[in-house]
Structure 1
Amino acid sequence: RLPGVVIPPGFVLTATATESFLTSEHIAEINRRLQVLEPDDLDALYKGCLGIKTMINNLPLPTDLEELLQVHYTRLEKASYPECLVSMRSSALGEDSGTVSFAGLYNSVLNVERKTLVAAYKEVIASKYGARAIAYRRQRGYRHEDIEMCVGCMVMVDALVSGVVYSRDPGPEDNGLLRINATAGIARGVVDGSKAADLYLVGRDKPYPVVYTEIRQEATRQGTPSLTYNQVRKLTETALLLEEHFGEPQDIEWSFDHQGLLHILQSRPLAGSHPAEEPVKAEAAVGESGAAPIVFGGVCASGGVASGEIFTVDSAEDMRSFPKGGVLLLDHPLPEWA
């Protein structure tokens, strides 16, 4: 633990626990099912992966592992409060590094009670075999045996405000700033990009001036900023401390509780920044017909020029019908669609 950094009480179910749950016989059966899947047949891929996940969720947990899970949950109750709610968070080996990120591809389960601990644990383990996770690993040359799933169990924070802080603004160049995104309540909507969040750009040097703010939650908060300056300063100091400790810029998930205490929920290496994009000019985008583009704007997930059928995806079921050569259109650029 670092002085001044508060982490909710918790424990980890290690790769050894996973190996005791999914035995060599189970892995052999999973391999058999994966070998017959065609990666270009999305419908078959989703059905096959659903079958694997259902198999895992129906497997009994080894008695000694289930007993240990209950024992450590009891210890969490003593360290926090009776019948505490916990989050079961995915933490696969190699999940987050400076060169690759599996963000959004594995499940984390929130507000878990004692009676649902086992089911939540199995759900996280099974998420390793989701269709998008398998496709992502194949594209990057990983075998599923190379990535073992661990699970972190952490007491839920009664969050007043939560969000993400990047210890360095992940822009095209180092501007000497730190970026904070904040929203009322828990941070899930900020993490997956589905929820509007207030934006703060803060200088990395004392007295940590706030050089830019953008309040994006006006509909629910009447334009009231999510954070006070004292909270911004505390976040900045903690982010810089974590960056120094880990030796590289950090992507940090955090929450302030109703008593004003800052809790650090996760800290991982910040993915590499992207090159600057030139603004799109209408005259440069006019097609052969000479007609101007229909729309401009949005968030670019993958740079380049292409044409094809626009296909809107709102769910995993929609994705199974995605046409070859189509152009993906989403309400929110969720990382799971990578």
Structure 2
Amino acid sequence: MTSRSSDTRAHPTAGRRRLSALVACLAFVFCCGQAAATRFRHIPLGNAVRDADVVVLGEVAVKEPLDPEHDVLVIKVGAMLKGDVAGKATIRVVSPGGRRIVIGFDGFKEGQQGIWLITKMKNRDAYYITMHPVHFQPTTAQRIIELVVAGTADAGQEMPQILREADGRARQVALAELCGPAGRAAALPLLLEWAAAPRERDAEIGTNVRGAAIHHIAKACDEAPADLPRRALAALDRVLAREPEKTESAWVIAEAYAAAGTIAKKHLGYAEAGAERFQANDFYPLEPRYHSNPEALRAAAPRHGRAVAAVKALRGWWATKAAEQTTPDK
């Protein structure tokens, strides 16, 4: 009697059909959880690492089409971060491709290096990776993923080095997964620097990283030395002094205003803070290119006016408060 595995070798086309069928089932289950083809639901890295059978750092040595919607990647194993591939130098990974390519996922390429969070395919000597960005991480995230695999929730004294050596995407992961109280304290000088950095440094730091830094500064004010709220307000005031979408991202300004208001109210007695929460679009300039039509422009004007007034009031209060200091902020 012929075994299933020998039958696959004798009839490679049939084997590929069965592999494609398994892949289609996995893809269907994954896609059912997506809100839309090009919008991925948020999956924390910790959850993705926990659910992955294998996490491997490697490089795409070969890429071949499997069917109209999938490719087979031969991954050269560089390091195992989770799981076991029985000492193999290469592994096969089925990935979305062909007609499955969508905005937000442009497929994998030969020579591409990274960290792969993959699932073992049942009864097959192959793995599967989805198109969700959490399942493929840059090589700069290696230490971050090692800590996540180890169950670490706070990188502590390692945090500044991790942030400096990572790229923008890996920094976002580190700030989301590993920046607990000890990590925040260790990285505080860097967080303050990045939060207040000019927009010209966004390509270097990452706009989302700056927003995350602002969030962590607000949290650190509940944990750190008593002088931090003033130092934080001084940094955030530099952001609020800029013009939305001209010299600063409107989103960063909205995040800075929310954090500054929280810090001012909780730690420095600014009672007027937090009366209204503003979003990035409330800070967009009242120009047609930021609004779909004249009616939308008119509708946006009142909230824009309140947002601008709120920032002006907060900055005016802070200027008075800062002038009361006997020593300058550093």
TM-score interval for Structure 1 and Structure 2 normalised by the shorter chain: under 0.3
Name the structure, 1 or 2, with higher relative contact order (CA <8 Å, separation 6+): 1
Larger radius of gyration: 2
More strand by share: 1
* TM-score, normalised via structure 1 length: 0.25
